[in-house]
């Protein structure tokens, strides 16, 4: 009887352990929601992703503390450049962009652009090759949104110009891989090459 009780306790503990997620599901803070503006465009054989974040005041203050590496109370230009270059590199590893099922390797394309109201614009690029005429399915999975969830805004229309490939959002962003917590946001789009 004693062995059976011990066996049941061990079985229950093992069941709980096996059912735990492999990666954390909770986000950093319930007040640190980050609104995003997304634009994707194609130029030549490259794809570009403009990723604009609008931080909460608290998140911006926490970021400012990290920027001031020498803790002198001043965020110097070199400290800002260093911080945002590292942040952009880390962010590029959390943004998974694919076209026609091919995962693209994104790299930071230029310096972060800082705007009023705690907005920050990052631009990434990757090689997609020459896309043939027709429609191509695209998808963006945003793992950064697991830690900092928030609203998505598709900024494609206000930047459209020229007769090149058109990129259009075809499905509202949805949370994936979420079990009662913030999940990665997924955005589906279509590239139409004339």
Q: What is the CATH number of the domain that holds 37?
A: 2.70.170
Domain limits for position 106: 24-193
Bridge partners (DSSP) listed for residue 57:
none
Residue 56 lies in a domain: yes
Model pLDDT, residue 28 = 46
Model pLDDT, residue 139 = 96
Q: Hey, which bits of the chain come out as E strands?
A: 35-43, 46-54, 95-99, 102-104, 107-108, 113-115, 119-127, 134-142, 152-154, 166-176, 184-193
Residues of the chain under the 70 pLDDT cut: 1-32, 157-162, 178-182
Residue 156 lies in a domain: yes
Model pLDDT, residue 21 = 45
Residue 4 lies in a domain: no
Residue 94 lies in a domain: yes
Model pLDDT, residue 182 = 64
Model pLDDT, residue 148 = 84
Global pTM reads: 0.79
């Amino acid at each position: 009887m004693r062995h059976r009780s011990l066996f049941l306790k061990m079985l229950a503990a093992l069941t709980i352990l096996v059912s735990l997620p492999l990666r954390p599901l909770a986000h950093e803070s319930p007040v640190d929601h980050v609104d995003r503006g997304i634009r994707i465009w194609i130029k030549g054989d490259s794809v570009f992703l403009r990723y604009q974040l609008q931080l909460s005041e608290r998140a911006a203050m926490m970021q400012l503390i990290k920027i001031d590496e020498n803790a002198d109370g001043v965020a110097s230009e070199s400290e800002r450049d260093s911080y945002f270059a590292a942040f952009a590199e880390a962010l590029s590893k959390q943004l998974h962009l694919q076209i026609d099922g091919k995962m693209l390797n994104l790299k930071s394309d230029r310096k972060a652009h800082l705007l009023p109201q705690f907005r920050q614009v990052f631009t990434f690029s990757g090689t997609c090759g020459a896309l043939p005429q027709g429609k191509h399915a695209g998808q963006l999975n945003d793992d950064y949104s697991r830690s900092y969830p928030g609203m998505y805004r598709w900024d494609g229309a206000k930047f459209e110009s020229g007769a090149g490939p058109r990129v259009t959002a075809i499905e509202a962003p949805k949370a994936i891989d979420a079990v009662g917590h913030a999940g990665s946001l997924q955005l589906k789009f279509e590239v139409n090459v004339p």
